[in-house]
Amino acid sequence: MSAEPKSVTAPGASINEDVFYAGGPAKGDLILNLLFGLTLIGIPFAVGALVRALWLRFRITSRRVEVSGGWLGRDRTQVVYSQIREVRSVARGFGFWGDMVLVLSDGMKLEMRAVPDYKNAEAYIQGRMAASPAGKGPLADKPGFGGSAAA
């Protein structure tokens, strides 16, 4: 009798996701802000970096971007690539990490602070946006429900 490992998948979860990045914010962000926290002015920045290091987690896969954060990491936001309209980023820490903002098609923004290797993450997200079915119908670019204004 051979013991072969069986893959058990939940119903509806048969689609594979390739994980590009799963983890927390850049460690350099914490180190730099803790050093800056030795001054009186830097204490709030050090506390913010400590909270991010403890409770903020990113997960970028082939199907979605997921950010877990908030108090004790209880808030979770998931965005599929077809919902992302634009990716904006800015370098932090001499370019070793950066902040990213995902602008969604409905105008909402998802901030991702202290993303390690943010240039590769940005390129990956933009590549997945181009490859994803946008699902744009004839009314997709119009605001509201079909662009009709109430009189």
Residue-wise pLDDT for 42-90, tens only, equals: 999 999 999 999 999 999 999 999 999 988 778 999 999 999 999 999 9
What angle do helix axes 43-55 and 27-36 make, rounded to 10 degrees? 160
Q: How far apart are CA 16 and CA 111, in angstroms?
A: 26
- The confidence band for 148, taking pLDDT boundaries of 50, 70 and 90, is very low
Nearest Cα to Cα of residue 33 among 89, 76, 97: 97
pTM, 2 dp: 0.75
pLDDT at position 17 over 90? no
Each residue of 98-109: b (16+ CB within 10 Å) or e? Answer: bbbebeebeeee
Calculate mean pLDDT across residues 9-13. 51
The CATH T-level fold of domain 19-24+57-131 is PH-domain like (2.30.29)
